[in-house]
Amino acid sequence: MTFVELNKLTKRYGAMTAVNGVDLAIDKGTLVCLLGPSGCGKTTTLRLVAGFIKPSDGRISVGGRVVSSASASEPPEARNMSMIFQSYALWPHMTVFDNVAYGLKLRRLGRADIETRTNRILQATKLANLASRYPSELSGGQQQRVSLARALVVEPETLLLDEPLSNLDANLREEMRFEIRRLHDEFRYTTVYVTHDQTEAMTAANLIVVMKQGNIEQAGTPEDIYERPRSEFVAQFIGGSNIFKGRRVGDNAVDCGEGLVLTCGSGDFPDQGEVAVSIRHHDMHLASERPSGGGSNWASGKVIRQVYLGSHRDYLISLSGGETVRAVAPVNVAIPESQQVWLHCPPDRCRALAR
């Protein structure tokens, strides 16, 4: 059942359009990630949903009622939403317990109810043993948990998160990705989560909405977005892909020039004109020489750079046609720089993209 609905949502600042006619339906209890590079409109969309800014056109509905339109907009405090910002915004003079309980006190709940609900959420967020500490005595991950607990304790209809893990180091970010997912599975709030980090989106989201220049480029499950990108932008932004361009020859093959013909196992071919073919970096197979009878989808090139990254090696390769591609190989595939190399693009991993 659709709970949050954006209909032709648009936000303009003078001649610049930050959000351009966005249509999006979010089912109740879904965690949706708005994903994209800086300036794509994801944070503006979140602020429109929160009620911090008013749309230029279109409308936002929550639970069947219109909360924002070009003519009228409910204030943030009337929307029963909680928002978590990049900065944790904790009261430094309050303990963890008092920070979490603050929203309940504003709502004038009874002391016993406040204590019960606050202790329950502190248990759920693994903060019960830190209840008497102050924010300055906490780690970044612990402060982020306090911020989450404070947002959840008031039982909002909708939870909004604006790049909440951007201030954490890599190890804490990884831990908190799974913590956010765990808490969502436990409480099932309808959640809109803004991030530019694809790993966060893949870990946390039921639905990923990839945005570019104020538009939705593609929306789908993490598996849909990763395995079945519909555009060059999505293929390159999610997971990293090499893009080859050429013209269709036969039913499912693309001639990319310089003798490289790629057979594609999936995708969309245009009726005419140029075709793009995407293949993930880790799906390209490297060899120091082309095996005899190896079949199609082979290209030759020269190693420009090879970096050892512990679990794998990252290669940058200049192909004979002039293109530069990246490939990820096991650590035991160690081909020196400046050496010729052969790359195989398995047909079942090549995806045609109508341009």
Q: Model confidence over 254-306: pLDDT tens digits? A: 999 888 899 999 998 877 778 999 999 999 999 888 777 656 799 999 999 99
Domain final position from 177, 197, 227: 227
pLDDT in the model for residue 242: 95
Query: Which of 214, 216, 163 lies closest to 41, judged by CA?
Result: 214
Mean pLDDT of 50-72: 95
Q: What is the CA radius of gyration of the chain?
A: 24
Shared domain for 144 and 95, answered yes or no, is yes
What domain count does the chain have? 2
3-state secondary structure of 175: helix
198 and 251 share one domain: no
pLDDT at 354 over 80: no
Contact present, 277 and 348 (Cβ < 8 Å):
no
Q: How many CB atoms neighbour CB 123 within 10 A?
A: 12
The tens digit of pLDDT for each residue in 130-181 reads 999 999 999 888 898 899 899 889 889 999 999 888 877 888 788 888 888 8
**Does residue 326 belong to any structural domain of this protein?**
yes
Q: Evaluate whether residue 41 is within a structural domain.
A: yes
Q: Is residue 85 domain-shared with residue 193, that is, in the same domain?
A: yes
Contact at 8 Å (CB) between 194 and 207? no
The answer to whether residues 143 and 122 touch, using CB atoms and an 8 Å cutoff, is: no
**Are 221 and 305 part of one and the same domain?**
no
What value, to the nearest 5°, has the Cα angle with vertex 194 and ends 168 and 67?
135
Asked if 193 and 306 sit in the same domain, the reply is no
Is 21 within the bounds of a domain? Answer: yes
pLDDT over 80 at 12, yes or no: yes
**Residue 34 exposed, middle or buried by CB count within 10 Å (0-12, 13-18, 19+):** buried
Q: Is residue 143 part of a domain?
A: yes
Residue 268 lies in a domain: yes
Q: What is the CATH number of the domain that holds 257?
A: 2.40.50.140
- Classify residue 289: in a domain, yes or no: yes
Residue 88, classed as helix, strand or coil, is coil
Question: In this structure, are 177 and 269 located in the same domain?
Answer: no
Based on the fold, state whether residues 186 and 261 are members of the same structural domain.
no
Nearest Cα neighbor of 19 from 2, 52, 51, 43 is 43
Structure tokens at 305: 């750079």
Q: Are residues 215 and 248 in the same domain?
A: no
| Residue 42 domain-assigned (yes or no) | yes
* Pair 23, 66 in one domain: yes
Of 173, 201, 227, the residue that ends a domain is 227
CA angle 137, 138, 144 (to 5 degrees): 150
Pick from 216, 245, 194, 241: nearest CA to 86: 194
**Residue ranges making up the domain that contains 138:** 2-227
> Any idea what the CATH number is for the domain that residue 165 is in?
3.40.50.300
Q: Of the candidates 182, 197, 227, which is a domain's last residue?
A: 227
Q: Is residue 207 domain-shared with residue 253, that is, in the same domain?
A: no
Of the candidates 27, 20, 22, the one whose C-alpha atom is nearest the C-alpha of residue 6 is 22
pLDDT exceeds 90 at position 345:
yes
Residue 236 lies in a domain: no
**β-strand partners of 33:** 193, 208
Handedness of CA 249, 255, 260, 266 (dihedral sign): negative
Same domain, 185 and 251: no
Residue 166 makes CB contacts below 8 A (sequence gap 6+) with: 86
148 and 253 part of one domain: no
